[in-house]
Structure 1
Amino acid sequence: MSTGIMECVIAPKRGDFVQGRVHCLVGLAAYVSQDRRDGIETDICGIVVDRQVWQFYRRETSAAVSGSVLYTVSVLPDLVSA
């Protein structure tokens, strides 16, 4: 069953971006596993934030993970308006 819904996991980690990235990716994997057990096939999105830098991730139902470039707070107005 596919709902076509994207869910979101946000993993803010102040000062330790690498730890935040790991936390986010583990969370995305856990959501995909739980959704599969529930018969749901969805792509899951995640965001890692450390006050100055943002990075977006997407884990597809095929288990492929893609990540964005790093964004800084100076480009946030452009991201929000996109």
Structure 2
Amino acid sequence: MDEDARAAEMALKVLTVIRRPGDPFGAPVAALRRIEAAATPIGQTRDEGDRLEDAELPLVVEAARAWSHVPILAG
């Protein structure tokens, strides 16, 4: 039963981000941090070691703009 509840909570987090992802072009840091938070497994903390710095996130979003005509590649 715990696994089902945990899976449902993870699915809700992911669906919330899909429904309201934020503004990755206007506020890239907030939007990408929100996606990171939703991707973190329930009961675990985010891995700070592999995390990009806030100053790097706008660069990632700008690089994705070049691929906006192919959304899966931009993602």
Rg larger in structure: 2
**TM-score per shorter chain, which class?**
0.3 to 0.5
Q: TM-score, normalised by structure 1?
A: 0.34
Q: Could you state the TM-score of these two structures normalised by the residue count of structure 2?
A: 0.36
Which structure's residues are more often strand, by fraction? Answer: 1
**Whose helix proportion is higher, 1 or 2?**
2
